[in-house]
Amino acid sequence: MLSASAEPTYVAIANQIEERIRQGGMKPGDRAPSTRQITREWSVAMATATKVLAELRSRGVVLTRTGSGSVVADHPSFRPAPPAPARSRSVHSGAGTATRERIIKTAIGIADAEGIAAVSLRRIAVDLDVSTMSLYRSIASKDDLLVGMMDILMGEEAWPATPPRGWRAQLEYIACRQWRGYQNHPWLAQIVSLTRPQLAPHAMRHTEWVLRAIDGHGLDATTRLYIVLTLFGHVRGVATGLESEQQAERDTGIDIDEWMRVNDARFGTVIQSGRFPHLAQLDNNADVDFDLSALFEFGLTRLLDGFAALIDGRRRGRPLDA
124 shares a domain with 21: no
55 shares a domain with 109: no
Q: What is the pLDDT of residue 94?
A: 39
Q: Is residue 152 part of a domain?
A: no
Q: Is residue 271 part of a domain?
A: no
Q: What is the pLDDT of residue 76?
A: 63
210 shares a domain with 174: yes
Give phi and psi for 171, each to the nearest 5: -70, -40
For residue 316, give every residue at least 6 positions away whose Cβ sits within 8 Å of its Cβ, in sequence order, or none: none
Q: Could you tell me the CATH number of the domain that includes residue 187? A: 1.10.357.10
For residue 67, give every residue at least 6 positions away whose Cβ sits within 8 Å of its Cβ, in sequence order, or none: 254, 255, 257, 258
45 contacts 8 by C-beta, under 8 angstroms: no
312 shares a domain with 178: yes
What Å distances lie between residue 315 and 49, 69, 216, 225, 309, CA to CA? Answer: 57, 53, 10, 18, 10
* Predicted TM-score (pTM) of this structure: 0.66
222 shares a domain with 178: yes
Residue 144 backbone class (left: φ over 0; alpha: ψ -120 to 50; beta: rest): alpha
Q: What is the pLDDT of residue 87?
A: 41
For residue 322, give every residue at least 6 positions away whose Cβ sits within 8 Å of its Cβ, in sequence order, or none: 218
Torsion of CA 11, 16, 17, 18, to 10 degrees: 80
In the predicted model, residues of the chain with pLDDT beneath 50 are 4, 66-67, 80-82, 84-96, 319-322
Q: Is residue 312 part of a domain?
A: yes
Q: What is the pLDDT of residue 321?
A: 36
- Alpha carbons 55 and 247: distance in angstroms, whole number: 17
Q: What is the pLDDT of residue 90?
A: 36
Q: How many domains does the chain have?
A: 3
Q: Is residue 205 part of a domain?
A: yes
244 shares a domain with 205: yes
Q: What is the pLDDT of residue 72?
A: 87
185 shares a domain with 47: no
228 shares a domain with 176: yes
Q: What is the pLDDT of residue 40?
A: 81
Q: Could you tell me the CATH number of the domain that includes residue 25? A: 1.10.10.10
Domain containing residue 126: 92-139
192 shares a domain with 300: yes
65 shares a domain with 176: no
173 shares a domain with 297: yes
40 shares a domain with 181: no
